[in-house]
Amino acid sequence: MSQPQFYPLRVVRLQPETDRAVSVYFDVPGADKTAFNYRAGQYLTLRFFIDGKEERRAYSMCSAPHDNELAVTVKQVKGGVVSNHIASNLKVGEEVDVMPPMGRFLAEVDPAARRRYYLFGAGSGITPLMSILRSVLEEEPKSEVILLYGNRDEDNIIFDKQLKELQNKYAGQLTVEHTLSRPKKYATKGLKGLFKRSHTKWEGSRGRIDRKALVKFLQRHPTEGLECRYYVCGPGEMIDNVEAALLGHGIDEKLIHVERFVSANTARKNNGESQGGKINVTLNKEQFSIDLKPGQSILDGLLEEGKTPPYSCLAGACSTCMARVDKGGVKMDVCYALDESEVEEGFILTCQSHPVTPEVDIDFNV
């Protein structure tokens, strides 16, 4: 199995979504169209060279396959090297190195199906949900979609205008509920202009998406009657709350699809206590060995040796760096992108993996 490569794609549009989020639209040359066929919910890996250092990031696509467009949405993160570079420096007409679509956060759309899709998102977690939502509405017309979307305040609602337009276009098929943890407040003068009071114009739900909010949401939108699917995307705590509420509601865990948005700095926690070891690697058509330093991840060791393994998020949240252990053992700091059965079969995320035996054989050609 050949490893994915990067393609230079030209930026054709930069669409502001909020003050801190922008959608980046790419032009795909005809010769590369097949490589960039995608399914709703997948992500792209973008590569930049910033201050002389290679930086890769995985960003979910907001576009839907039936659009014949390719776009990702990027939200600025405090201290985020790539997100701030995109916000401040990226221009229409520039080329960006882009890896073909990947990811398993997918909706299997069937034009003949009649289902109910429950989507739960917070912040930029709306991005892949938007792709799934639009695909279901357009390509599975007998199904309905119910979205619960959490943000801090009104100014941070990504795709606010588009969601309203979709609600009007697909009335009866799409339901959108927003909840804000800190709605905007406006100051007004009180008696004779002497006393100021604050009030909010927000009339929707308030608070974060926690277990209590989920219980009430499921009471308003019962899961009985139709075949249901559940998609959850956002920060870890929100996902844990949604999963717990759904499982407590009797939902089969196989029907719950999760995509975690985690920064590399948050996920890479190893404190250097893991042992080093000899790593025997099969990558593309090459076989070689490296000596891993104590505390070093397998991916870090490969990059230090000048090898070119596939990788993207560095946070254990995507599966780009996945490999299989054929001999020996490893431990992972975090593992958001693989399920238990895959781990039992020996699959690992090399960005999070450290050897626990003196010698380990791994194969990227999986």
The pLDDT tens digits of the residues spanning 209-251 come to 999 999 999 999 998 888 999 999 998 889 999 999 999 999 9
Residues 292 and 248 in one domain: no
Q: How far apart are CA 317 and CA 166, in angstroms?
A: 29
Residues 334 and 349 in one domain: yes
- Domain-embedded: residue 290: yes
Tokens representing residue 326 in the block? 């054929």
- Domain-embedded: residue 135: yes
The number of domains in the chain is 3
Question: What are the backbone angles phi and psi of residue 317, rounded to the nearest 5°?
Answer: -100, -15
Distance of CA 59 to the CA centre of its chain: 7
Q: Which pLDDT score, from 0 to 100, does residue 118 have?
A: 98
Residues 85 and 163 in one domain: no
The domain boundary residue, chosen from 81, 102, 123: 102
Residues 134 and 176 in one domain: yes
Question: What are the backbone angles phi and psi of residue 298, rounded to the nearest 5°?
Answer: -60, -40
Distance of CA 341 to the CA centre of its chain: 21
Q: Which pLDDT score, from 0 to 100, does residue 263 have?
A: 64
Q: pLDDT exceeding 90 applies to what percent of the chain? A: 78
Residues 159 and 250 in one domain: yes
Residue 78 burial (C-beta neighbours within 10 Å; 0-12, 13-18, 19+): exposed
Q: How far apart are CA 86 and CA 21, in angstroms?
A: 10
The domain boundary residue, chosen from 102, 128, 155: 102
- Domain-embedded: residue 166: yes
Range of the structural domain that residue 248 is part of: 115-261
Residues 151 and 202 in one domain: yes
Average pLDDT over residues 69-75: 97
Predicted confidence (pLDDT) per residue in 125-184, tens digit: 999 999 999 999 999 999 999 999 999 999 999 999 999 999 999 999 999 999 999 988
What CATH number has the domain bearing residue 346? Answer: 3.10.20.30
- Domain-embedded: residue 63: yes
The domain boundary residue, chosen from 102, 132, 159: 102
Q: For the whole model, what pTM was predicted?
A: 0.84
pLDDT confidence band for 276 (50 / 70 / 90): confident
- Domain-embedded: residue 2: no
Q: What is the DSSP letter of 111?
A: T
Residue 165 burial (C-beta neighbours within 10 Å; 0-12, 13-18, 19+): exposed
Distance of CA 219 to the CA centre of its chain: 28
Q: Which pLDDT score, from 0 to 100, does residue 221 have?
A: 95
Residues 98 and 129 in one domain: no
Question: What are the backbone angles phi and psi of residue 291, rounded to the nearest 5°?
Answer: -100, 120
Predicted confidence (pLDDT) per residue in 308-339, tens digit: 999 998 888 888 999 999 999 999 998 888 88
pLDDT confidence band for 1 (50 / 70 / 90): very low
Helix, strand, or coil here: 197? strand
- Domain-embedded: residue 144: yes
Query: What single-letter amino acid sits at 267?
Result: A
Q: Is the pLDDT of residue 189 over 70?
A: no
Residues 160 and 253 in one domain: yes
Residues 243 and 290 in one domain: no
Residues 239 and 276 in one domain: no
Q: Is the pLDDT of residue 349 over 80?
A: yes
